[in-house]
Amino acid sequence: MNLDISLRSEIHKALAALFNQSVEQLQIQPTNKEFEGSHTLVCFPIAKVSKKVPEETAKLVGEYLLTHSGIVGSYNVVKGFLNLVITDQVWVEVFRSIYSNPNFGVLASDDKEIMVEYSSPNTNKPLHLGHLRNNFLGFSVAEIYKGNGYKVHKVQIINDRGIHICKSMAAWKLFGNSETPLSSGVKGDHLVGKYYVEFDKVFKSQIKELITKGVAEKDAEKQAPIMQLAVDMLLKWEAKDADTIQLWKTMNGWVYEGFSSTYKRMGVDFEKLYYESETYLLGKEEVLRGVENGAFIKKEDGSVWVDLTSDGLDQKVLLRSDGTSVYMTQDIGTAILRFRDFPNINKQVYTVGNEQEYHFKVLFLILAKLGYSWANECYHLSYGMVDLPTGKMKSREGTVVDADDLMAEMVNEAEKQTRELGKIEDMSDEEIKDLSEMVGLGALKFFLLKVDPKKRMMFDPAESIQLQGHTGPFIQYTHARIKAILRKADSLGILVEEGDLQKVTSLELAEREALFLINSYTNKIQEAANEYSPAVIANYAYDLAKEYNQFYQSIPIFNESDADKLKFRIAFSRVVADTIKKSMNLLGIQVPERM
């Protein structure tokens, strides 16, 4: 039984019978906790067809549903809001339909395809806390769209070229003394990141020295020897100088190996990798084509620009006067290549921080000016930065919170807390290690995903790992608790057959509250997809776990003398556990059987 469809159908019947009218879009929302009921019909729009005040309209509709629907057991009216109390018999029928459906919450595919880009790191430094939010967000959005029946393509663009890459190369060439990950015992991405930080230190020192000699600061930045070396490397790279290309390949290779192990621990994956070094030339071709057809402007110094003033923006450079490309150039090429590779995608989603909002507005306008109709199907999933109690991170100064270090810290803290709880005496060291990994990374992912992506957030490692409160471990612990209940039921020989569930005629409030949440699971994954927001799922999982804990604390399951109610509660607990697991999996979070 689909309660939402049935209820809407009965309301439409009521409007036709009472007012001989219909309202296409009924506004039904969860009932405010301070009033009795589960579904609230907003009657202000209906008053337009009833020709009565909203409160009187609500009373008339409520009375009709009470008398004729067989769904509503009682109702109450608060101004123009009609709060509906669904009968226990209907809730039991709803539960039976969920319990008997192995595909509950799985939406059918209709051949829709979507591409989700996330991670997209630079190859001049290791991944950090900001990358963790990016990866977890992009991966979760991809999984949510899978849950909505889409065929999903997970991709990333690797920023493997440009002046920032040449900075690490220049510093290594000057100070590296042939150091490698193997010779130093340092993970490859960390080693390259070390030289990126070193470049910045030397660069600032050289600028300071030039300024003391009377050189203007702006000129000093260009004249600094280490910057001139980096710029020279970029020009040589674009000219395919053999030695420069070889060093670039070597250092990028170190980084890729490091990234690979980090992604594995994160639990994220990709179907296809794109590299800026392979897409920027296509971007340059498209920019030059845009000059030919009048979409772009070539200035006297040879640089190419797009004029977006008529779109409320400004002019944007697409090719420098020396012919080298900019970020925008390669993003143009990447977008075009992706739609060539995957011509059936309905939408391309870019998971990139909100500091790039202007960049993507410009990119999508440029693609439209180049004549690509799918430019309207490109979406920037903009998210806020992650702050720490210690302040903002800065890569060039080496003050970032490294992703590898943070994940290890979270896992270590999870193991410490697990051992302190003392409920793992019969677990092997390997099982404790696996559990700690699950809880530590679950805490990290949940904390970063429970906040609306658009909002800037503060990450508090100590708060995120707590077993109580709005945390991942709280939800994981609830799942483990339910699994313990189910194991006990099995040991007692309590078997639940579908026919047993028909015999229950009344429910406790806690059961109805949890059933309302379970029934709304499909709506939640649709809402999460529409809003590109894993926070919808994270908060749903938390609400369901919290509701079940209230049920568990108020109703001792195994003290129930009524065999039918006992079996119902065992079945009910199983469905809650399954729904928690599905929800957490959409976030990329595993849930333990024991904890």
DSSP states of 98-153: HHT-TTTT-PPP-S-EEEEE----BTTS--BHHHHHHHHHHHHHHHHHHHTT-EEE
Q: Which residue has the higher pLDDT, 420 or 582?
A: 582
Q: Which ranges of 466-562 does DSSP label H, i.e. alpha helix?
A: 472-491, 509-519, 521-531, 534-554
Architecture label for domain 3-86: 2-Layer Sandwich (3.30)
Q: Read off the pLDDT of each residue in 222-241 and give the average, rounded to a whole number.
A: 94
Does the structure show a pLDDT above 50 at 397? no
Q: What class does CATH assign to 118-387? A: alpha beta
Q: Read off the pLDDT of each residue in 127-146 and give the average, rounded to a whole number.
A: 96
Q: Is the dihedral of CA 513, 519, 521, 526 positive or negative?
A: negative
Q: Can you give the pLDDT at residue 356?
A: 96
Q: Identify which of 84, 141, 85, 150 has the alpha carbon closest to the alpha carbon of residue 118.
A: 141
Percent of all residues in the chain with a pLDDT value above 90, rounded to a whole number: 87
Q: Read off the pLDDT of each residue in 469-494 and give the average, rounded to a whole number.
A: 97
Does the structure show a pLDDT above 80 at 218? yes
Among the residue ranges 280-284, 323-327, 366-370, the one predicted with the least confidence is 323-327
Q: Which ranges of 393-460 does DSSP label H, i.e. alpha helix?
A: 403-421, 429-449
Does the structure show a pLDDT above 90 at 31? yes
pLDDT, tens only, 404-441: 999 999 999 999 988 887 777 788 889 999 999 999 99
Does the structure show a pLDDT above 90 at 84? yes
The angle, 0 to 180 degrees and rounded to 10, between the axes of the packed helices 429-449 and 403-421 is 120
Q: Which residue has the higher pLDDT, 535 or 280?
A: 535
Among the residue ranges 218-227, 241-250, 422-431, the one predicted with the least confidence is 422-431
Half-sphere exposure at residue 489, Cβ-oriented, CA atoms within 13 angstroms: 23
Q: Which amino acid is at 34?
A: E
Q: Can you give the pLDDT at residue 396?
A: 44
Q: Can you give the pLDDT at residue 395?
A: 42
Q: Read off the pLDDT of each residue in 60-89 and give the average, rounded to a whole number.
A: 97
pLDDT, tens only, 494-503: 999 878 888 8
Q: Read off the pLDDT of each residue in 372-377 and give the average, rounded to a whole number.
A: 95
Q: Can you give the pLDDT at residue 399?
A: 54
Does the structure show a pLDDT above 90 at 470? yes
336-358 burial, b at 16+ Cβ within 10 Å, e below that, comes to bbbbeebeebebbbbbbbbebee
Q: What single DSSP character describes residue 31?
A: P
For the chain, the average pLDDT equals 94
Confidence of residue 390 (pLDDT cuts 50, 70, 90): low
Among the residue ranges 98-107, 173-182, 349-358, the one predicted with the least confidence is 98-107
pLDDT, tens only, 283-330: 999 999 999 999 999 999 999 999 999 999 999 999 999 888 888 999
Q: Is the dihedral of CA 514, 518, 523, 524 positive or negative?
A: positive
Q: What single DSSP character describes residue 595?
A: -
- How many C-beta atoms surround the C-beta of residue 307 within 10 A? 14
Q: Can you give the pLDDT at residue 569?
A: 96
229-262 burial, b at 16+ Cβ within 10 Å, e below that, comes to bbbebbebbbeeeeebeebbeebbebbeebbeeb
Structure tokens at 412: 């270590």
Q: Can you give the pLDDT at residue 455?
A: 96
Confidence of residue 132 (pLDDT cuts 50, 70, 90): very high
Does the structure show a pLDDT above 50 at 393? no
Does the structure show a pLDDT above 60 at 233? yes
Q: Can you give the pLDDT at residue 162?
A: 86
Domain boundaries, the chain: 3-86, 118-387, 403-586
CA atoms of 467 and 198, how far apart (whole Å): 41
Q: Can you give the pLDDT at residue 398?
A: 47
522 burial via Cβ count (<10 Å: 0-12, 13-18, 19+): middle
Percent of all residues in the chain with a pLDDT value above 70, rounded to a whole number: 98
CA atoms of 249 and 208, how far apart (whole Å): 33
Confidence of residue 207 (pLDDT cuts 50, 70, 90): very high
Contact 441, 553 (CB under 8 A): no
- CATH of the domain spanning 403-586: 1.10.730.10
Contact 54, 82 (CB under 8 A): no
